[in-house]
Amino acid sequence: MKVLVTGGAGYIGSHTVVALREAGYEPIIVDDFRNSEKKVLEGIESLVGQVTCYELDCSRPVLEEVFRREKNIHAAIHFAAFKAVAESQEKPLDYYENNILSTITLLRCLLKYQVPYIVFSSSATVYGEPDTLPVTEESPRKPARSVYGRTKQVCEDIILDTLKSGAALRAILLRYFNPIGAHPSAKIGELPRGIPNNLVPFVTQTAAGWQKELVIFGRDYNTPDGTPIRDYIHVMDLAEAHVAALRYLERGGDKNIMNLGTGKGNSVLEIVKTFEEVCGVKLNYRFGERRPGDVEKIWADATLAEKELGFKAKRTLAEALLDAWKWQKTLTLNQAT
């Protein structure tokens, strides 16, 4: 069965394409490569064989071309979006246009071609600074602190309102906590553009000598070691959760929102220390100022996904950091050759 994967050459998208193939689906990638690289397709192919890929911007009407050519698309998983929080503040129009218009364009195609299922890539960022922890799917969404976060909230509402309008569509919005790590084969992984915004790729690049030092943004938070706490989930677990979410829709599941996290929080300093310990690498880091807009602490109540999807993250933080480091060493090796 054909599953359209927008942003399928991206970090989470590529790992999900592999998981879909291994689950017996036929993934079809749609990606414009503005925020991903073509070499990802080679990595995917080395793992699961050739995957059809349409190079196009899914926010444009040309997306319909895929539906005309590919008969009987069974479902869509919508990853395609810009996702850099700081950049979203500088380029709001690009973010609103790309992230929101791609969702509307995709939904119109799904309805027109009677595709019954959509899985949407949302984010725990919609919770802002939670009042109570762990956050459940009932926890209130807070006014987003970034344009990026606002685009995720708007896209969630667009999908939910489309369902409410009686459309012949079933949807699940997956709110990711912090995806980290890479495929254990080191054939695919995270490819940040330029200087990484996210913690773990910055850690691995510092360890590889690509960055001079890691700055830990603030150690005066109200947490045990003063650094912010997040719920870091292995990208392989996240990918497998998308297959579980699709199966849930297929069997008539009616919950529309699911947290995808481990249910455990770790501080920035714990990530650094765990990385040094499991990878046997001393990290050059210092403490700096807080990063504006950062949440102090957030981690998931992951029980709904376990109950409804039968999904529970099974890989440890150590595994994720090791896989991230293995991937970084491969990138470093390829850069040298």
> Which one, 115 or 233, has the nearer CB to ligand WQD?
233
> Which one, 58 or 73, has the nearer CB to ligand WQD?
58
Using CB under 6 A, count the residues that bind ligand WQD.
18
Please report which helix (H) or strand (E) contains residue 109, including its range: helix 101-112
SS3 178: strand
> Which one, 113 or 217, has the nearer CB to ligand WQD?
217
Cis bond before residue 134 (omega within 30° of 0) = yes
For the record, the structure tokens of 297 come out as 């602490």
Q: Which of 85, 115, 188, 309 binds ligand WQD (CB under 6 A)?
A: 85
Q: Is 133 in the site for ligand WQD (CB under 6 A)?
A: no
For the record, the structure tokens of 195 come out as 């200087």
Q: Is 215 in the site for ligand WQD (CB under 6 A)?
A: yes
Which residue of the set 54, 95, 117, 148 is catalytic? 148
Examine the residue annotation and report whether 248 is marked as an active-site residue of this protein.
no
For the record, the structure tokens of 34 come out as 């503005």
Taking the C-alpha atoms of residue 98 and residue 121, their distance in angstroms, rounded to an integer, is: 14
SS3 180: strand
Q: Is 217 in the site for ligand WQD (CB under 6 A)?
A: yes
State the residue for tokens 């993934």. Answer: 27
Nearest to 66 by CA among 14, 105, 104, 20: 105
> Which one, 198 or 256, has the nearer CB to ligand WQD?
198
Taking the C-alpha atoms of residue 257 and residue 52, their distance in angstroms, rounded to an integer, is: 29
Please report which helix (H) or strand (E) contains residue 158, including its range: helix 147-164
Stretch near ligand WQD under the rule CB under 6 A, chosen from 68-76, 214-222, 254-262, 274-282: 214-222
Taking the C-alpha atoms of residue 315 and residue 326, their distance in angstroms, rounded to an integer, is: 16
Taking the C-alpha atoms of residue 27 and residue 133, their distance in angstroms, rounded to an integer, is: 36
Nearest to 110 by CA among 76, 81, 78, 82: 76
Shortest distance (Å) from residue 74 CB to ligand WQD: 26
Among positions 259-298, residues that touch ligand WQD (CB under 6 A) are 268, 291, 294
Q: Is 244 in the site for ligand WQD (CB under 6 A)?
A: no
Q: Is 207 in the site for ligand WQD (CB under 6 A)?
A: no
> Which one, 88 or 162, has the nearer CB to ligand WQD?
88
| Contacts with 101 (C-beta within 8 Å, 6 or more apart), sequence order | 59
User: Sheet of 117-123: strands edge to edge?
Assistant: 52-55, 26-31, 2-6, 73-78, 117-123, 170-176, 257-260
Q: Which of 88, 103, 125, 328 binds ligand WQD (CB under 6 A)?
A: 125
Stretch near ligand WQD under the rule CB under 6 A, chosen from 17-25, 166-174, 196-204, 325-333: 196-204
Binding mask 136-175 for ligand WQD (x = CB under 6 A): ----------------------------------------
Among positions 220-239, residues that touch ligand WQD (CB under 6 A) are 228, 230
SS3 28: strand
Residues that bind ligand WQD (CB under 6 A): 83, 85, 123, 125, 178, 197-199, 202, 214-217, 228, 230, 268, 291, 294
List the catalytic residues: 148
